Amino acid sequence: MSEEIVIICPELTAGAGGLADYTLRVVAEWRGISPLRFLLPRGEKVSDPLVNAERVELVERNAAALLAALPNAGGKVLLQYSAYGFDRFGYPRWLLRTLADWKEQSGGLLVVMLHEIWTFWPVLNKNYVVQQLHRRDIRALMRSADAIFTSTASQAEHLRGLAPDRAVEVLPVGSNIEPAPSATRGRDAGVAVLFGLEGSRVRALKSMHSDLEALGTRGVIRRIITAGADSGEQERRLLAELPLVDGFEQRGALPEREISELLLRGSFGISAQAELSLTKSSTFMACAAHGLNIISPHGDRAKPEPLCWLTRPGELLAGVDDAELERRAERLREWQRRTASWPHIAKQFARALQLTDAEQAIIS
């Protein structure tokens, strides 16, 4: 068995946030192939049975406390980084500088996953100086790290510009809803699913309103079902304005299996996720993993995956045959499995952390 891996993350309670769920999914794929120890900022809670309390340490948000919790010599550290997750002002100086210093002093192995980078403020904004300091410390961390990952191509481009001599790998996030293995298969014609956070759902309904209205008028979309917490009056009003033959339904928050069954039964997924952040959206990945045809204003056959497998509203209005829609949905699902399935993500981190070939082979 490999030596202990120390995982630093800002949260570790299932459902509390994206980084907690992300970390727990990776740990589940590893199936105990290496001893783990988690370092979290003091004040965070741990409730998932995958993580035993004796393997979790809560540390004060300062350099001395963090350094004392890290291995003295050697050791392996995996950082799941979100600036605001570790610091409410979006600049956890104590974390970035300490890890760079630890790497230099200990000679250990440091792997960094940058889920978020610095905030982009204009020069005249009062936070611009903080942005520059944040960039400087991320650069120092990158120069110390043995492997660097991020979740979008645009973030990777910014990071490579910051440290051109360092390799940055793009690793899209995984689906937050795994397909239910025994769920009933078969699609309900004309049913579109809008799944995710309330703010994202409302933004999609607003920005795609005219397109959805046209698709409803033509009968391409007959019914819209929304799923996710806080189904409010604004969402209901936007849905009620659409000319849907079979109306709409707000399911609200649902257990994972019920959401999976909903995604497996729908014909379309609705997504207005920005092109630059598409690969860090776990709800987009859930739709892809369930083989939905995703209606998006950013679909473009001439662009790289996954954009080339999405369908623009105008294409549906002009007419796309069922065989082509099935082909796109299957290609999108294949892309998700190949680049963003949890086994794939877990294997990439295992490789970077230099787990043995035999240990990596255990990951499904």
Is pLDDT at 311 greater than 90 in this prediction? yes
Q: What percent of the chain has pLDDT over 90?
A: 73
Q: Bigger pLDDT: 212 or 127?
A: 212
pLDDT digits (tens, 9 = 90+) for 63-73: 999 999 999 88
CB 102 within 8 A of CB 59: no
Q: What's the pLDDT score for residue 54?
A: 61
In 3D, which of 263, 252, 269 has the Cα closest to residue 194? 269
The residue-averaged pLDDT of 77-81 equals 97
Mean of the per-residue pLDDT values of the chain: 91
Is pLDDT at 15 greater than 80 in this prediction? no
pLDDT digits (tens, 9 = 90+) for 152-198: 999 999 999 999 999 999 999 999 898 887 655 689 999 999 998 89
Q: What's the pLDDT score for residue 358?
A: 80
Q: What's the pLDDT score for residue 129?
A: 85
d(CA 168, CA 102): 21
**Bridge-based pairing state of the strands 223-227 and 191-195:** parallel
Helices (H), the chain: 18-30, 63-69, 83-86, 93-106, 128-144, 153-162, 198-207, 209-217, 233-240, 256-265, 282-289, 313-318, 322-340, 342-352, 357-362
Is pLDDT at 53 greater than 60 in this prediction? no
- At residue 271 the predicted structure's pLDDT band, cuts being 50, 70 and 90, is very high
Domains and CATH numbers, the chain: 5-174+341-362 (3.40.50.2000), 191-340 (3.40.50.2000)
Q: What's the pLDDT score for residue 183?
A: 52
Is pLDDT at 121 greater than 80 in this prediction? no
In sequence order, what are the residues at sequence separation of 6 or more whose Cβ sits closer than 8 angstroms to the Cβ of residue 160? 166, 168
